[in-house]
Amino acid sequence: MSIAKVVEVLAQSEESWEAAAQAAVAHAAKTVRNIEHIYIENFQAVVEDERITQYRVNAKITFVVED
């Protein structure tokens, strides 16, 4: 039987929500192994001068705990 854990992270990108999600996984992968899933719970954008300047995601990352 395997055990999974979930960590919640916030990430942002100047490019897109997809890039923000990738940044969340890349940053989590620096300290967490065996990442299997990412669930995007919330999207947010920062608007300046009628233009989106930052894309943000609130993500839950699931990973399997090693035995």
* CATH number, domain 3-65, options 3.30.1660.10, 2.115.10.20, 3.30.70.580, 2.70.98.10: 3.30.1660.10
Mean pLDDT per 10-residue segment, the chain (67 residues): 92 97 97 95 97 97 90
Predicted structure pTM score: 0.87
Contact in structure between 41 and 13 (CB atoms under 8 Å):
no
pLDDT at 66: 81
pLDDT score, position 1:
74
The whole-number pLDDT of residue 15 equals 97
Token readout for 49 is 């001068």
Per-residue pLDDT, 2: 84
pLDDT of residue 60: 97
